[in-house]
Structure 1
Amino acid sequence: MLQSDDTLHLRLLQTTDLHMRLLSYDYFADRPAPQGGLARLAPLITEARAEAANCLLLDNGDFLQGTPMGDLFADPDVIDSTGIHPMIAAMNALGFDAATLGNHEFNYGLPTLDRALRDAAFPVVAGNITRPGGPSLPPWMILPLTATDTTGRPHTLRIGLIGLAPPQITAWDRAMLNGAIRMQGICDAARAHIPTMRAQGADLIIALAHTGIGDARDRPDLENAAVPLAAIDGIDAILCGHQHQTFPGPRFQGLDHVDTRTSTIHGKPAMMPGFWGSHLGVMDLTLRRGADGAWRIGDHTVALRTAPDAAHGTVPDDPTVQRAVSAAHSATLTHIRQPVGHTTAPLHSYFTLIADDAAVQLVAEAQRARTAELLQGRPHADLPLLSAAAPFKVGGQAGPDFYSDVPAGPLSRRNLADLYLFPNTLQAVEVTGAQLHDWLERAAGLYCQITPGRPDQTLRNPDFPAYNFDVICGLRYRIDLSQPPRFAIDGTLPDPAVHRVTDITHDGRAIRPDDRFVVATNSYRIGSSLMAPLGQLPVALDTRERIRDVLLRHIARTGTITPPRRPVWRFAAMPPGTSALFDTGPGAAAYLDGPHLPPLERLGPTPQGFMRLRLHL
């Protein structure tokens, strides 16, 4: 019998951006690690479920890529040899109710994705991804849940789940996808599907949105679209991700239509529980059914429960996850320990944002050498060949241990994974001198503007990802921090007269705007927002060779390498008394006497565990 005062409580548990973090083990360093990803979240999931009568466990995407285990199991034959993908095995064991896809699910191509999902015991929805001529995942589903209200009466609650992902997937993984999927704008897809979901009887619609919180203005190519998505009528709550941030959290204070105090966007409950299993999102919804029979959200609370730290071995890995992935863990250890060569000098990323860096240059040199081989006999072979590479592990929100640190001596596969994290493929583009200048200007947006003569200013813009700091080897140039960035982070050009990258030369000659070059780079960079201001660049080389494999062959060819550290860039000199604060990993202490470094002064640790240095400019 319908009663207008029916009330029930529904709990939504969310994981996001797990990136193949399963156990408390760092495969890049080949040692146990404090943070254990899903193995650390599992006890929190069990506890949170026990507290609530009605509960769903949902994942928000980017679960299949991110560690050497993910790379190893990118081969469908390897999955078949163990019977099931380790992440899917763990998610099945923990009883996930549904999931959506993130952009990194496509890094290895569709055969890997299809093989991994074949064994999923939970549905996967993808509302703005279609595969013309092939099997597509359902855009949405209605999940019936037998829920008890506050008096103990059962009800069948029909929960609509729609999955949404960044439309840039087809650009970022163009080489791997080769036109096999089509992307629709996040909000366009939601507006198309929501009315049908309601018509099919959804009592509540939850957006599993692998997208971040950003611009309030909608457009079809918007990557972080949670704000306009929340404005769409019919969506009741949004589970966000992709940005590797926490919501509620201070990062999003002051954004239009975003309330960090109530954890709402456009007044609707929303959450984003970090990355790598750092947090479990817990959203509690109080649903009330009116006289018309419709369930509506009354009150809500959102909490992010922090995963316990396994430091000093005081917190064991969850046995459910351990059992599910033990064979995959052993196979991964065998794989990463395979020798590939030797290095005569250490390779690390502690100073890559303030000085020429051997690790970045090694990647760039491997890209350049392979591109030169492949361009032989082609029209672009006669153009000057440059190579662009960027650092990946440089601390930031991932913490003070998130740095590459490969000692001199033997090199194994894990070291190569440490130096190049992602399964990007080798590409090359043709650019003019003017476009090359703007490419460098975009990369130099990493830095804040520095006032000449002032001490201890902030050096790094925390909103600019370090993986967009391309260093273009084969050039010489300076970065003048007294000037503002030429481009805003979104690629807009506030003042066309501004330049902070100066004195760009190639082979000792200043480049001219109409000069032509080929630049070896990676598949992600060509489709990234960093390149948008440069316009459409002619593709000189399009391969499916992964950069890490290119690097492996480059090292194996010589056996013992001497890492390059050629002069490429430096900061322009500023008046005496000008300094900036630079935070790096504490492991940098072993390399502070390097002759290639600018003047540095050690100040001590930060509250977050970084080592703070004063950089004299």
Structure 2
Amino acid sequence: MTHHRHDGLNRRAFLAGSAAGASLIALHPFSARAGAGQVHLRLMETTDLHVHVYPYDYYSDRPVDTVGLARTAAHVAELRAEAANAMLVDNGDFLQGNPMGDFIAYERGVRAGEVHPIIRAMNAVGFDAATLGNHEFNYGLDFLMSSIAGAEFPVVSANIARELGVSPTADGTLLPPYVIVERALVDGAGVAHPIRVGFIGFVPPQIVTWDRKHLEGRVTTRDIVACARAWVPQMKEAGADLIVALNHSGIGEPGHVEGQENASVPLSELDGIDVIMTGHQHLAFPGRAFEGIPGVDTKRGTIRGKPAVMGGFWGSHLGVVDLMLGREAGEWRILAHQSALRPIARRNADRSVTPLVQSRRPVLDAVARDHADTLAYIRRAVGRTRAPLYSYFALVADDPSVQIVSNAQLWYVRELLKGTAHEGLPLLSAAAPFKAGGRSGPDYYTDVPAGDIAIKHVADLYLYPNTVRAVLVTGAQLRGWLERAAGMFNRITSGGRDQVLLNPDFPSYNFDVIDGVEYQIDLGQPARYGPRGRLVNPDAARIVDLTWAGRPVTDEMKFVVATNSYRAGGGGDFPGAMGDTIILEAPDTNRDVIVRYIAERGEIDPTADGNWRLAPMPGTTVLFDTGPKAVRYLDDMRALSIEPAGDGPDGFARFRIAL
């Protein structure tokens, strides 16, 4: 598991472009101050790239300045020049996440001897190690293994096993659990010293639920902290001088919980782990997003005193940990450390974006053909829409972009249920708005104009390569499902003015709207479930006037709900969708079903049917932040009493809703 670094042609080409300007870049203070026996080691992290190489939004089919490994690579070149010694790692979720990923997975494939474009780009930048994220498994295990076969850097993951042993170190792991990279670090006196840097990888153990179709019977997972506790001593015995956790897991609960999804805080408490690379949450650390978590210093960028970073998503930031290391009696120890982020763009007060770096040409060239092929792929027309499809108001009113997904799922599942024991049951459909701003920013919304619908538009409506599922639920479970989704909203005081409506910790992809029933959401009641699905108020009842075919829904009624593989398998922890209620596992992706639904009709009219609404609260107003382009569709919001209310934070537009 020891890796000796070699520089290939791609890496030399990448570095050649930065050599001319290197002399103009000042050394980091650690490099400048290092004396004999002291070295400055810079660790750089990308995370959650999701196949974003070009600074391009394939959904809107236009260049953007806020994404792309080609841009992040400019920081890599600069930071390598600033430090005497530097290493670069990726923290997972690189293989899926935009239409280029879909095009390679579904159209072109990765044959023996070929290299996946994201891997080709990463090879060009020159990574020292990487780990897997949860989305690496979305296209199946065989595709994953074929894709990473072309990596010129080791890919490690400790808590995924093909065969479980009596302990983690006895497992037959899918990949090497760790790698020890041998480097020679130059100290302040110009003397080279050997160091062995160990990188160990972790993924949320929930992957076996989220991608059950691909993984069941093939791999299993272990708890992150328990796995680390077993492997880290072995890494020390193998000679690791420094251990870096590549933890595709966020910064969550401070205490350890078995099977924890976001386990970076308890992981940092383990002896032997020196640095934590985090990800998965699509947030930035150091940063305000994690204020209030015990043991987390959001300004210094430490967790339990240890340096850590989370480098945003889609290449938006490069995470940087600078270490001043001292060598005494043949052993290395950390004398000082700093954590920081290097963003690739800045959002201005007027909502415009200023790029802070330019793309590296060798990285663009590495995937130029794939980029061109992806553009041709996304521009194929499959039908027409009479009305625009947009998600600016999807969290406050029934929405056309969600409606078309529900309509397609109902159409597809209804046919598959014919002739089965479930054919005569009421058929419902659950769908959520995937692009609805939030942490992804004020431009992250679906906005498809009336006219031709291309594959890029369908991919914009439905971001993930989930497959269709149907579940059988009771009326009680149906109500619980809707209560779980209603955690999207803060509790609102009747008669209050300008209260903040949305809970920022609740992701929009968990705001399921269920078509086929009618209901209202009473915001005066507390949420029954917290943002992560934990039951916090068992007796709370936000869902009111829930009816099917004009009749009140009772607990014992039976319904079939069309949904997706992620939700049906337990993703999001929704009542009635925990993997044990599935009655239909369809072979087609939800996205393909939408394409076929549109193509069969030729033209669609995606008007929302208004089956849900926020319950009236006279004399009460709330504030709702959405993308600034929402104002173009304000006249469509006839079911809401809504008006502009100025600028929101971070480039969002603010609206006032009278309940």
Aligned-partner SS, 2:84? coil
Equivalent position of 1:507 in the other structure? 549
- 1:271-321 Cα distance to aligned partner (Å, 9 max, x none): 111111111111001112333x32121210011011146968996432011
TM-superposed CA distance for 1:533, in Å, is 5.0
Task: Please report how far the alpha carbon of residue 440 of structure 1 lies from its aligned counterpart in structure 2 after TM superposition.
Answer: 0.3
Question: Match for residue 397 of structure 1?
Answer: 439
What is the alpha-carbon distance in structure 1 between the residues aligned to residue 637 and residue 124 of structure 2?
A: 52
Deviation, 1:36, is: 3.3
Paired position in structure 1 for 2:582: 539
Whether 2:613 is the aligned partner of 1:566: answer: no
* CA pair 82-361 structure 1, distance change in 2 beyond 3 A: farther
> Which residue of structure 1 lines up, in the alignment, with residue 394 of structure 2?
352
1:581 equivalent to 2:623? Answer yes
Q: Given the alignment of the two structures, is residue 431 of structure 1 paired with residue 456 of structure 2, yes or no?
A: no
* Code of the aligned partner of 2:433: P
Choose 563-572 or 4-13, whichever is displaced more. 4-13
Q: CA deviation at 1:236?
A: 0.8
- Give the AA of the match of 1:231: E
Q: Does 1:30 align with 2:61?
A: yes
Measured after TM superposition, the shift of residue 467 of structure 1 is 0.5
Greater alpha carbon shift after TM alignment, 19-28 vs 161-170: 19-28
Name 2:241's counterpart in structure 1. Answer: 203
Shift of 1:568: 1.2
1:333 aligns with 2:364: no
- 2:136 corresponding residue in structure 1: 105
**Structure 1, residues 541-591: CA drift from partner, whole Å, max 9, x if none?**
112311100100111111111114212111111122x10111111111111
SS at match of 1:224: coil
Question: For the structure 1 residues 314 and 130, does the alpha-carbon distance in structure 2 shift closer, same or farther, using more than 3 Å as the test?
Answer: closer
Matches within 5 A, 1:284-323: 284-291=322-329, 293-308=330-345, 316-323=358-365
Contact 1:350 1:584 in 2 (8 A): yes
Counterparts of 1:107-146 in structure 2 under 5 Å? 107-132=138-163, 136-146=174-184
Q: Could you tell which deviates more after superposition, 126-135 or 197-206?
A: 126-135
1:110 positional shift: 1.3
Distance 1:135 1:490 in 2: 29
- What is the percent sequence identity of the aligned residues? 52
1:298 maps to amino acid:
L
Aligned 1:400-411 pairs, distance under 5 A: 400-411=442-453
How far off is 1:184 after superposition?
Answer: 0.8
User: Which stretch shows the higher mean deviation, 217-226 or 93-102?
Assistant: 217-226
- Aligned pair partner of 1:261 in 286, 299, 303: 299
List per-residue Cα deviations over 1:251-271 (Å, max 9, x = no partner).
Answer: 111211112232111111111
2-structure distance, mates of 1:8, 1:72:
44
Matched, 1:422 2:461: no
Structure 2 contact 265–303 (Cα < 8 Å) conserved: yes
Contact 1:10 1:54 in 2 (8 A): yes
- Taking the aligned partners of 1:328 and 1:82, their CA distance within structure 2 comes to 16
User: How many angstroms apart in 1 are the aligned matches of 2:612 and 2:283?
Assistant: 31
Name the CA distance, whole Å, in 1 between partners of 2:513 and 2:630: 21
Question: Which residue type is aligned with residue 151 of structure 2?
Answer: A
1:231 to 269, 272, 279: 269
Please state how far the C-alpha of 1:176 moved relative to its aligned partner.
Answer: 2.5
Pick from 380, 386, 395: which aligns with 2:422? 380
Following TM superposition, by how much is the alpha carbon of 1:470 offset from its aligned partner in structure 2, in angstroms?
0.1
* Correspondence 1:95 to 2:126: yes
Render the CA deviation track for 1:455-476: whole Å, top value 9, x for unaligned: 1100000000011000000010
Alpha-carbon distance in 2 for matches of 1:231, 1:595? 50
The answer on whether the counterparts of 2:36 and 2:188 sit within 8 Å (CA) in structure 1 is no
1:386 Cα deviation from its structure 2 partner:
0.6
> What CA distance in whole angstroms lies between the structure 2 residues aligned with 1:379 and 1:185?
39
Please name the residue that 2:70 is paired with. 39
Helix, strand or coil at the partner of 1:487: coil
- Supply the distance in 2 between the matched residues of 1:616 and 1:81 (Cα, whole angstroms): 59
Q: RMSD over aligned Cα, in angstroms?
A: 1.9
Distance in 1, matches of 2:356 and 2:155, equals 35
Q: Is the 8 A contact 1:430 1:537 kept in 2?
A: no
Letter in 1 for 2:181: L
Question: CA deviation digits over 1:97-127, x for unaligned, max 9?
Answer: 1100000011111122112111111100011
Distance 1:503 1:93 in 2: 58
- CA shift digits 1:219-262 (9 cap, x unpaired): 33110000111111111110000001111111111211112232
Q: State the AA in 1 paired with 2:606.
A: P
Q: Among residues 588, 597, 600, which one is paired with 1:554 in the alignment? A: 597
Question: Which AA in structure 1 matches 2:596?
Answer: R
In structure 2, runs of 5+ residues without a counterpart are 1-34, 165-171, 347-351
Deviations 1:391-411, CA, capped at 9 Å, x for gaps:
011111211111101111111
After superposing the two structures, state which structure 1 stretch, 122-131 or 538-547, moved more. 538-547
Q: Find out whether 1:86 has 2:106 as its counterpart.
A: no
Deviation at 1:430, TM superposition (A): 1.1
Residue 178 of structure 1 and its aligned partner are, at CA, apart by 3.3
User: Matched residues in 1 for 2:256 and 2:658: separation?
Assistant: 43
In 1: Cα distance, 2:590 partner to 2:498 partner: 38
Q: How far did residue 78 of structure 1 move?
A: 3.4
Unaligned segments of structure 1, at least 5 residues: none
Greater Cα offset, 581-590 or 124-133: 124-133
Alignment-mate amino acid for residue 249 of structure 2:
T
Deviation of 1:77 (Å): 4.3
CA shift at 1:40, angstroms?
1.1
Contact 1:99 1:124 in 2 (8 A): yes
Structure 1 residue 325 displacement after superposition: 0.7
